[in-house]
Each structure stands twice: as structure tokens, then as C-alpha cells.
Chain A
């Protein structure tokens, strides 16, 4: 389906204003969170700010917009076209919202009012609302149609997929004619095709003369948008320049590490496990196991539906010892469900599933949010020790594993909510490995992590997997990650809502 992206209304014939900000500083109880001396947005030239969480990039965007949380102090000055503003005065810019400045939210599904139909929500942002209701509604319908969402105009937000919700949010935010578009982490909840579609929209906005500031950790999106790129770290900008320069030939170490952490660029692919006798033998490859003989998991004609939506049908899967598989596909396609079915956590609606006898009790899973997989009110160490005790594992081995994944032992004394996501995931790896699993399911295990943290976590995980010779199923929507980690792949279908 071709999507005709409409030119942002209001920018044709208007003075091609630019936006400049100076000495933007955001503080919280004395800690400096953002310190950017100069920022300049020009028409036709998008600016993309990349960095890890905590670098302050999101706060920068909100400081410019005027939507910072009240407990943060902000100082600095901003000029939009001819008008000047003091950043500390939050209310001053309120009248610009919708008309000049527009903000695209991080989680579009949460940003839409669940009790209001899509058409109304988009029309609300129009300049004619509420005086000229009919005109605004017509305008809303036009925009939605241009975005390929005509069929969703009368629906409520809970029926939309992530990508659709993001496009609705775009329509609602820009219908007022704003020519400055600030986009905050747009790809967090989206899969690849949705991100590409969004990139097209944003590019069209910039091409029509609008100003575009994008905050993202997704380097591919940054590359697609073009223009300039900044790398932020710990409140400051460490690298700036045209996108190709910053991403291909970064000059600072940090930027280099960051771009190197993108799975698409990973230089090392982990050694695959070869059938006995044909490849290098090493520690962890179980002697005597002939991978060709009995598969760990075998499924025939598997079928599963969720409500009235069919996730997969007629699916055949054979996973042998030591193999590494990826389950990929857009969100909502049923990858997690398939993984759960293969592990025996959820029954399939139809078909046959067989697991090898030796696999009993030796199937493990890593969760997308590791904090949810540990008992909440108890130190992490207890959970690990319980597992070690249950499986008769020597404490020395526990300590060794903890060291191998790069964690310090005193981290284990904390409760799950006091440990960062990446570190906690590594603890989960240790815990899973204590049972000497034959198959490990990594369910979007690194989707929520920053690039650098993801790299460290994946290294820890793969190190253990290769050493132990255990099989791996990776559920992910990141194609590059799947390609770097696995040899075999199952791709599940399109989201029927699209």
C-alpha cells in the first residue's frame, strides 16, 4: 500500500524560521543532567541526537519544548523565528504547542486517550477546533487517509498496533500546522517496517521545510534521516557533525564504541556448534551426543490462535542439540508465544510437539524484563543460591560463572529493583546456566537495553552458551541481532491489523 504523506500544512508560504537555543542546562537537586551550549535547527536539515539512557538526550528535547517535569530546574534561552523565550519559563511556550512546536511521544499507545475515537483525537489538534468542528473533522479524515489509516478513523486506540498509533499521534500532533517537530524515542515500541514508515514521514516533514529534532538510540533510524547527528553522553555532546561522518568515521572513543555496538556491525559471530566428529571439539560439546539423531524439540503442524487472530498454523520446527535459532517477525506476530509453546510453557492449539527425554527440566528462559523474573522482595543472591542448591552445584562454580559474565559478587546482595537491567539479565544468565540447560530461550532478552549494555549482555550470554554447548532460541524483532547470533531462523507473519 503506498502512503501519500501530506505536506505539513501551514509551512508553505510561511517565513522559513529556524530554532536556536543557547546554554541549555537542566539540573536536578544539584546534579547536572543536560549541558548544551548551543543548538541550531535549520529547515531541510534534521538533527538527530543519539546516546544511551541517562545521557540527557530526552531531557534536552523536553527542555526545548517546555514539557519537563516540575522538579527539574532548567535555564537557557531559545529563539524560534523572531520570538525569544526563556527556558525557565515553562508557561510561556504553551501557546506555541500545536501551532509552532509539536512533540511526538515515546509510547504512542499510551499517549492516546482510550476513551476517544481516533478521528476526534486528531481533529482536536486542529486550529479550527472547537469552533469549526466539521471542518476539523474533515481535515482529520484527510490526514488519516494520507497516512493510510482511513479504515482506522472511527476506531478506538486500543485496536491500533504500535505503528498505527504512532502515525495517529503524528497526525494529531501536526494537524495544527507546527513546523518544529520534536520526536522523542519514536522507535522504542515499534518494529522495523513501522520504523521505516515513520522515517518516511519525518523526512517528508523536513523536505517540506519543517524543522526536525529526533531523539533516538536507533542508529539505523539516524542514518535514514540524514542531516546532522549528535552523540550525547552524561549531559554533554561528545560528538557532532553530519550523520555519515559521526556514524561511519567517529572521532571519539565513546562514539566509536557506540557505533560498534550496533548488532549490524558486530565483527565476531559466535562459533557454531558442529555435529560430533565434523568440527572442532571443545569443552562443553557433549561427547557421544549425535545431534542428528534425536532433536531436542520437534514440532509438526503447530497451530496457535489468540482470540480470533491466527498466529501461526501448519508450522514444522526441528531443533537439534546445540543449534541456534531465531524467531523473528513484527510485533504481535506471535514470536513469544511460539517460543513458549516450544518450551512447553503454553499448549499449542493443534499439531504435535515432542521433546527429548533428556530435555526434561533442562529448558530455561530469559525474560524481556529480568526484574520480573526474580522474586521481588528478596535479594538476588537467594534466588541464585536456591537454584544452585536444588541442582547440587558447587558454590565455586557459581562464583566462577558470576565472574565470567563480568559481575561483581556484592551485586548479588541487592534486591532486583536495585540492580540495573543489563546486570540483572546477566545474573539471570548465570542462574539459568547453573542447571546445565540443553536449550535456552531468550525472549527479547535485550530489547530494552541500550546498545552498549546490550553488547555486554549478549557477549556474556553467548560466551556461556558456546562454552556449555547448549541450544539457543532468540526471539527478537531486530534482524541484525538475529543474524549475528544464529544460523537458523523462523520468520512469523505480518500483523493482521496493519
Chain B
């Protein structure tokens, strides 16, 4: 699980060729959005239209791609395409849930800590200090160890827990800056009230930040799930998951490359397009 805060400040601000960058950037963003939309479509429609991902037919062992099976079959005779669709849906749905939970939790606690200050802030910061040093994967691993038998709830809880701390810290830092700025002080003197501060100061400033955090969080979640699949903790066969599929298909890479290419391609396109959606405006 990577660290959103430092990735944010580390994205290079455009220098020199700044004039041409915006145009190229928005084109890149549109391409990423399009790719993502395609994958989402695939993930939503696929499982409904295609068959059962677990249906085995051992007589169709490692069949190459054909018109009936665009991605061929795997070593159990299962349709790779069908499994891929289910795997993509799993990754997307779980990632969205994890990020949404973590973001809401992290953002609200961040704003709360920045606004109230005092002991609320101190307690929350202390908790986050501990979380932040815990390798999140560790936590997820341990929690996911509970999930043998296919329960996804533990994985969801683990990943969300691992992420909220980063959001908390980032939002708290930014909200702290905004709330301590002369603009908010002036608004206080002018008697403009808390709602005004939220509407005119906090939200416009946090919105691009949250978008960026969300896209980074999605990438982190998807990668975390694939890693869990790789170590076969929490996500085990015969479940269709991208990381699992990759691991299972690797031994056959020379005789059946399509088995590997499918999940690798989807994973790569998914993460790259999510990364590309980051809000460039937030470079400030």
C-alpha cells in the first residue's frame, strides 16, 4: 500500500513546456477515462452475459483462443474470458467500497481534527501515528487470514482500515492550512459563519485533493487485492481474482500465453488509467 501524501507532493508540477502540457494532459485524461469506462462496462456486463466462471470442462484443457472462447481456456477447462470478467468486477467493486469507506472516514476525521484542534486532534493524530508505521499489508494479511472460506468482508475491512490513515493525514494537513489561512480569519471577522467557510473555503480546496486521493486509493486497493491473491491469503482458488489468475497461469506461460496476458493486461490497464485520472489542478 503506497503512501498517498507523498505521491501527491511528489507529482512534478509542469515546468518549461507548461503551455503545451494542459492540452496533452487533458487528452491523456480523456483516454484514461475511456479505457476505464470500457473496463467498467466489461466488468458489469460480462458476468451477466457470460457463463459460470467455475464451470470446468477438463476435456477443454488449455485451448487456444477461438471464436467461441476469445481468451481460450485454462488448465481446468474454464473460460478465461468469463473468469476475467468476474475478476475485474470483484476488483472494481471491492476497490470502490474500500476507497469510499476509507475516504469518508479519513476526510471527516481529518476535517474534524483540523477544525477542533485540542485533544480531539491530539488523540486522532496519536492513533494515526501508530497506524502509519504499521505495514498495511501486514494488517491486511493478518485480518485476511481470518477470511479463509471466502469471506470478503475481512478483506474489505482490512484494506479500508489500512487506507483511511493516509487520507486522514493528508486531509488534516490541507484543512489545517485552509482553516489557518488569513482568508478564514477574515471570514471570521466578517461574521460569515461556519457554513460559509465550508462552502467557500474548504470544499473548493479539498475537492481536487479528494479526487486525486480516490484514484490513488483505487490503484492501491486493486494492487493489494492482487497481492493477497498472490500469497493466497484471503483470496484463494477457485475464486476468480486478477492476482490469483496471474499466479495460477504463470507456470503455463510458454504453452498458453493467453492465460497470462488476459489478467496482466486488465490489471495494467486498470491501474494506469486510474492513475491517469488524477486531478492535475491539485499540483498546488
A and B touch in the complex (CB under 8 A): yes
A residues with a Cβ closer than 8 A to B are 343, 345, 361, 363-365, 367, 369, 372-378, 382-383, 386-387, 390-391, 428, 431-432, 435
Proximity string of chain B (187-212) to chain A, C-beta cutoff 8 Å, 1 when within and 0 when not: 10111110010001100110000000
Contact of A390 with B201 at beta-carbon distance under 8 Å, contacts A345-B185, A376-B183 already known: no
Q: Is B186 an interface residue (CB 8 A)?
A: yes
Q: Which of B146-190 contact A (CB under 8 A)?
A: 181-183, 185-187, 189-190
A376 touches B186 (CB 8 A): no
Proximity string of chain B (29-49) to chain A, C-beta cutoff 8 Å, 1 when within and 0 when not: 000000000000000000000
Q: Which residue on A lies nearest to B184, using beta carbons? A: A375
Tell me which of A363, A386, A435 has the highest count of chain B C-beta atoms within 10 A of its own C-beta.
A386
Contact of A375 with B190 at beta-carbon distance under 8 Å, contacts A365-B185, A369-B182 already known: no
Main secondary structure of the interface of A (DSSP, over half): mixed
B182 touches A367 (CB 8 A): yes
Main secondary structure of the interface of B (DSSP, over half): helix
A435 touches B190 (CB 8 A): yes
B183 touches A386 (CB 8 A): no
Contact of A376 with B185 at beta-carbon distance under 8 Å, contacts A387-B192, A390-B190 already known: no
Complex-state Cα separation, A387 to B185, whole angstroms: 14
Residues of A within 8 A of B201 (CB): 375
B190 touches A382 (CB 8 A): no
User: What distance in Å separates the Cβ of B174 from its nearest Cβ neighbour in chain A?
Assistant: 12
Complex-state Cα separation, A382 to B201, whole angstroms: 12
Proximity string of chain B (81-111) to chain A, C-beta cutoff 8 Å, 1 when within and 0 when not: 0000000000000000000000000000000
Q: Which of B182, B189, B196, B205 contacts A372 (CB 8 A)?
A: B182
Q: Which of B185, B189, B191, B200 contacts A375 (CB 8 A)?
A: B200
Residues of A within 8 A of B200 (CB): 375, 378, 382-383, 386
B204 touches A386 (CB 8 A): no
State how many residues of chain B have any CB contact under 8 Å with chain A: 16
- Other than the given A390-B190, A390-B192, 9 more pairs (CB < 8 A) read A345-B189, A365-B186, A373-B183, A375-B201, A375-B204, A377-B204, A377-B205, A378-B200, A391-B191
Tell me which of A375, A377, A387 has the highest count of chain B C-beta atoms within 10 A of its own C-beta.
A375
Q: Which of B252-272 contact A (CB under 8 A)?
A: none
User: What distance in Å separates the Cβ of B18 from its nearest Cβ neighbour in chain A?
Assistant: 11
Which 4 pairs across A and B sit closest by C-beta, in order of nearness?
Answer: A377-B204, A375-B200, A372-B182, A373-B186
Complex-state Cα separation, A386 to B204, whole angstroms: 16
Complex-state Cα separation, A387 to B190, whole angstroms: 7
Residues of A within 8 A of B196 (CB): 386, 390
The 7 sampled A-B contact pairs (Cβ below 8 Å) are: A345-B185, A364-B189, A372-B183, A377-B205, A386-B192, A387-B192, A391-B191
B residues with a Cβ closer than 8 A to A are 181-183, 185-187, 189-193, 196, 200-201, 204-205
Complex-state Cα separation, A361 to B204, whole angstroms: 26
Residues of A within 8 A of B193 (CB): 390
User: What distance in Å separates the Cβ of A415 from its nearest Cβ neighbour in chain B?
Assistant: 11
User: What distance in Å separates the Cβ of A5 from its nearest Cβ neighbour in chain B?
Assistant: 40
Q: Which of B187, B190, B192, B204 contacts A376 (CB 8 A)?
A: B204
Q: Which of A372, A383, A387 contacts B181 (CB 8 A)?
A: A372
Complex-state Cα separation, A375 to B192, whole angstroms: 12
Residues of B within 8 A of A372 (CB): 181-183
Q: Which residue on A lies nearest to B200, using beta carbons? A: A375
Residues of B within 8 A of A345 (CB): 185, 189
Q: Which of B183, B189, B205 contacts A374 (CB 8 A)?
A: B183
Q: Which residue on B lies nearest to A378, using beta carbons? A: B200
Residues of B within 8 A of A363 (CB): 189
Complex-state Cα separation, A372 to B185, whole angstroms: 10
Q: Which residue on A lies nearest to B196, using beta carbons? A: A386
Q: Which residue on A lies nearest to B202, using beta carbons? A: A375
A376 touches B182 (CB 8 A): no
Q: Which of B186, B191, B204, B205 contacts A390 (CB 8 A)?
A: B191
User: What distance in Å separates the Cβ of B56 from its nearest Cβ neighbour in chain A?
Assistant: 56
Residues of A within 8 A of B189 (CB): 343, 345, 363-365
Complex-state Cα separation, A363 to B181, whole angstroms: 18
Residues of B within 8 A of A387 (CB): 190, 192
Residues of B within 8 A of A367 (CB): 182, 186
Residues of B within 8 A of A369 (CB): 182
B204 touches A378 (CB 8 A): yes
Complex-state Cα separation, A374 to B181, whole angstroms: 10
Q: Which residue on A lies nearest to B188, using beta carbons? A: A345
Q: Which of A343, A364, A377, A378 contacts B190 (CB 8 A)?
A: A364
Residues of B within 8 A of A375 (CB): 183, 187, 200-201, 204
Complex-state Cα separation, A382 to B196, whole angstroms: 11
Complex-state Cα separation, A383 to B187, whole angstroms: 9
Tell me which of B187, B189, B191 has the highest count of chain A C-beta atoms within 10 A of its own C-beta.
B189
User: What distance in Å separates the Cβ of B183 from its nearest Cβ neighbour in chain A?
Assistant: 5
Residues of A within 8 A of B186 (CB): 365, 367, 373-374, 428
User: What distance in Å separates the Cβ of B278 from its nearest Cβ neighbour in chain A?
Assistant: 18
Residues of B within 8 A of A377 (CB): 204-205
Complex-state Cα separation, A361 to B189, whole angstroms: 7
Q: Which of B182, B191, B204 contacts A373 (CB 8 A)?
A: B182
Residues of B within 8 A of A373 (CB): 182-183, 185-186
User: What distance in Å separates the Cβ of B195 from its nearest Cβ neighbour in chain A?
Assistant: 10
B204 touches A431 (CB 8 A): no
Q: Which residue on B lies nearest to A70, using beta carbons? A: B16
Complex-state Cα separation, A363 to B189, whole angstroms: 7
Residues of B within 8 A of A431 (CB): 190
User: What distance in Å separates the Cβ of B118 from its nearest Cβ neighbour in chain A?
Assistant: 14
